[in-house]
Amino acid sequence: MLTGKFRDFLSWHIYQIYPRSFLDTNGDGIGDLRGVTAKLDYLKELGINAIWLCPCYKSPNEDNGYDVEDYRDIMDEFGTMDDIRELIDQMHKRGMKIIMDLVPNHTSSRHKWFQESRKSKDNPYSDYYYWFDAPPNDWQSMFGGSAYQFDEGRGQYYLHTYAVGQPDLNWENPAVVKEMQAVVDFWVDMGVDGFRVDVIDQISKDFNGANCFGPRLHEFIHALFGRDKTKHLFTVGECWADNIEEVRRHAAPERDELSTLFQFDHQDIGRADKFTYVPTGMQELWNRLCAWQERMQENGLLYSLFTDNHDNGWLISRIGNDKQLRYETATCVAAMVYLLRGACFIYQGQEFGMTNSCHDSIEEFDDVESKNMYAELIKTMTPEQAIAKINFGGRDNTRRPMCWNGGEGCGFTTAKPWMPFHTLADKINLERDQAAEKSVWRFYRDLLALRCATPALTVGSFAKADLGEGCCAFVREAEGSKVFVVCNFEQENQIRLPESCGKLLLSNYGHKEKKTGCFQPFEIAVFELN
Ligand code: NOJ
């Protein structure tokens, strides 16, 4: 069982906000911090008690804020330091927590540290980044091309695991560790409650091996979050590398490193690679979720429950049926994921069942990864084939402005939006969903309320159950109360329920009671167990 500080995090319902696309309050077509403050009551109503704010620091936006120019200032388009103070204040007044996005692996090439570092080999900042006379290996940038870039100023190559404008910080230099501790402390003093930590598995490098889980990773993370000033924080590390033993070590409470990690095993379903669709059923999603749930539970570790974020197309567009059975798919996935044991993360737009968008031209995209990928793809295929891949896997699917309603500006802006809206904005938007008989939003609200009110669903243990083919089931149990969750997959299915199934607590088919018998496509049911 989870004890102490991590136990509380099991009841955190964290809403991820991509500020650029959330709500524009000053009519420039770009979302801003005041827009976030304006929607706090909306989020509370949904059952959210914390937000993770994607980077809002000063940035030239080569990678939409993940290229930080100043960790202690706000991006001009998003507002001011006063706006963030007001947001933190308003959140705390409502009993909500705020998690900032910390980007410790790299800065923008416009950051003062890099501007100084590139000037010479012997100034106070010269070792803040990794410099080489020649590339030491053949690492590739995550956004395409070599990970090493020649810099005229210094006459050497620097490492950039991501875009050219995102040089990697050299954590071997103790001054860098100190700088990043000071950044963390600055935001802790501002009152934030935690951090989502960008590509944390990459900050320690092994230039003879892979660019992740380097030899000093534990030490560096501990230096950030294992201090008296930081131990109480909620910290979630982004960890793309799929290594369960390392993940388990980093999340072990006694090590004072991270509260939990995002891992992406269940994100890789429905695709051969990020841009190539392969049909995959719910069973595969369940197998992967279940394996991680069991392994994290073994040692009482905190698991992170999420389906979507700003780095992938929508999950319900990769599995299930996001056309005819969009409501059913979205609600079934929600039950399968958020009734498990862990901290919950919900991405903006997910709560009303957003799906992938479909555009004709690369001009309608903004993302550096998609643009680089498109340039590569058209070397070997037609523009139509290339754009289809970008439509499927591109990060802009989840980054397009929020569709609060289906009108002009979608309730997001009164100006031209910084990026075109989803092509489905008139059909899939919050207002329409809330007015519909089958509302994804209402299902999320009911699910989160049930979670909150039911200790078995927050702090309870997890045990897989077997009801036969084509569905999954599990039991959550705490303090003598037991809850039983059944999720049917795509086909209609005869399901024999355990005799002990009592009151029906939640249904996505509007049932008031449910007995052994036929389950509809993607039907879920949650029972009290007698
Ligand atoms: C992961 C972030 O989620 C992604 O959006 C970003 O491009 C990379 N890290 C680089 O910071």
Kindly report the three-state secondary structure assignment for every residue of 79-122.
CCHHHHHHHHHHHHHCCCEEEEEECCCECCCCCHHHHHHCCCCC
Residue of minimum CA distance from atom 5 in ligand 1: 311
> How remote is the CA of residue 198 from the centroid of ligand 1, in Å?
6
CB of 86 closer than 6 angstroms to any ligand 1 atom = no
**C-alpha closest to that of 68 among 188, 205, 206, 162:** 162
Ramachandran bin of 387, using left for φ above 0, alpha for ψ from -120 to 50, beta for the remaining angles: alpha
What was the pLDDT predicted at 3? 54
Ligand 1 pocket: which of 68, 69, 196, 198 to mutate (most atoms within 8 A of CB): 198
For residue 29, the model assigns a pLDDT of: 98
Ligand 1 neighbourhood includes 63 CB (under 6 angstroms): yes
Task: Say how many C-beta atoms besides its own lie within 10 A of residue 357's C-beta.
Answer: 24
- Ligand 1 and 367: CB distance under 6 A: no
SS3 51: strand
Q: State whether the beta carbon of 69 lies less than 6 angstroms from ligand 1.
A: no
Tens digit of each residue's pLDDT (9 = 90 or more) over 391-431: 999 999 999 999 999 999 999 999 999 999 999 999 999 99
Centre of ligand 1 to C-alpha 485, Å, is 34
Catalytic-residue membership of 433: no
Nearest of 513, 350, 503, 526 to residue 447 by alpha carbon: 526
CA gap 294, 172 in Å, rounded: 35
Beta carbon of 462 within 6 Å of any ligand 1 atom:
no
8 Å CB contact between 341 and 462: yes
Closest CA to 367 of 413, 399, 403, 401: 399
Q: Which of 63, 238, 257, 322 is catalytic?
A: 238
Q: How far apart are CA 3 and CA 9, in angstroms?
A: 10
Token couple for 333? 């996935």
Give the torsion sign (CA, 344, 348, 351, 356): negative
- What is residue 1's predicted lDDT score, i.e. its pLDDT? 54
Distance 417 CA to ligand 1 centre (A): 22
What is the pLDDT, as a whole number, of residue 2?
55
d(CA 448, CA 11): 10
Helix residue spans in 155-216 (DSSP H): 174-189
How many A from CA of 148 to the centre of ligand 1?
Answer: 18
Atom of ligand 1 nearest to the CA of 395: 5
What spacing in Å lies between the alpha carbon of 199 and ligand 1's midpoint?
Answer: 7
B/e letters for 19-49, b = 16+ CB within 10 Å, e = fewer, are bbbbbbbeeebbbbbbbbbebbeebeebbbb
Per-residue pLDDT tens for 160-202? 999 999 999 999 999 999 999 999 999 999 999 999 999 999 9
The one-character DSSP state at 452 is H
**What are the pLDDT tens digits along the chain (530 aa)?**
555 668 999 999 999 999 999 999 999 999 999 999 999 999 999 999 999 999 999 999 999 999 999 999 999 999 999 999 999 999 999 999 999 999 999 999 999 999 999 999 999 999 999 999 999 999 999 999 999 999 999 999 999 999 999 999 999 999 999 999 999 999 999 999 999 999 999 999 999 988 788 999 999 999 999 999 999 999 999 998 778 899 999 999 999 999 999 999 999 899 999 999 999 989 999 999 999 999 999 889 999 999 999 999 999 999 999 999 999 999 999 999 999 999 999 999 999 999 999 999 999 999 999 999 999 999 999 999 999 999 999 999 999 999 999 999 999 999 999 999 999 999 999 999 999 999 999 999 999 999 999 999 999 999 999 999 999 999 999 988 999 999 999 999 999 999 999 999 999 999 999 999 999 999 999 999 99
Q: Answer for the pair 72, 180: CB distance below 8 angstroms, yes or no.
A: no
43: DSSP letter: H
Q: How far is CA 175 from CA 124, 213, 238, in A?
A: 9, 21, 24
**pLDDT for residue 299:** 87
Residue 396 appears among annotated catalytic residues: no
Query: Measured in angstroms, how far is the CA atom of residue 2 from the centroid of ligand 1?
Result: 30
Question: Closest Cα to atom 8, ligand 1: which residue?
Answer: 66
Q: Is 404 in the pocket of ligand 1 (CB under 6 A)?
A: no
Residue 162 Cβ inside 6 Å of ligand 1? The answer reads: yes
Our mutation pick for probing the ligand 1 site, out of 52, 61, 62, 63, counting the most ligand atoms within 8 A of Cβ, is 63
Q: What is the DSSP string of 509-527?
A: S--S---SEEE-TT-EEEE
In angstroms, rounded to a whole number, what is the distance separating the alpha carbons of residues 458 and 358? 37
Residues 413, 17, 373, 319, CA torsion sign: negative
66 Cα to the center of ligand 1, angstroms: 6
Of the residues 77, 198, 328, 351, which is catalytic?
A: 198
The residue whose CA is least distant from atom 4 of ligand 1 is: 311
For residue 18 and ligand 1, the question of a CB distance below 6 A is answered with no
Residue 369: closest CA among 344, 397, 343, 402:
397
Only one residue has tokens 């070397």, namely 379
Which amino acid is it at 441? W
How many CA atoms, within 13 angstroms, populate the side-chain half-sphere of residue 139?
A: 25
Expressed in angstroms and rounded, the spacing between residue 138 Cα and the centre of ligand 1 is 21
- Mutation to probe ligand 1, out of 311, 345, 347 (largest number of atoms < 8 A from CB): 311
pTM of the model: 0.97
Burial of 283 (0-12, 13-18, 19+ CB in 10 A): middle
Cα 297 to middle of ligand 1, angstroms: 28
Q: Is 496 helix (H, G, I), strand (E, B) or coil?
A: coil
- The pLDDT, as a whole number, for residue 243 is 85
Q: Is the CB of 198 under 6 A from ligand 1?
A: yes
Structure-block tokens of residue 204? 């320690």
- Give CA–CA dist 179/171, Å, rounded: 10
Burial 438-459 (b: 16+ CB within 10 A, else e): bbbbbbbbbbbebbeebbbbbb
Closest ligand 1 atom number to CA of residue 63: 7
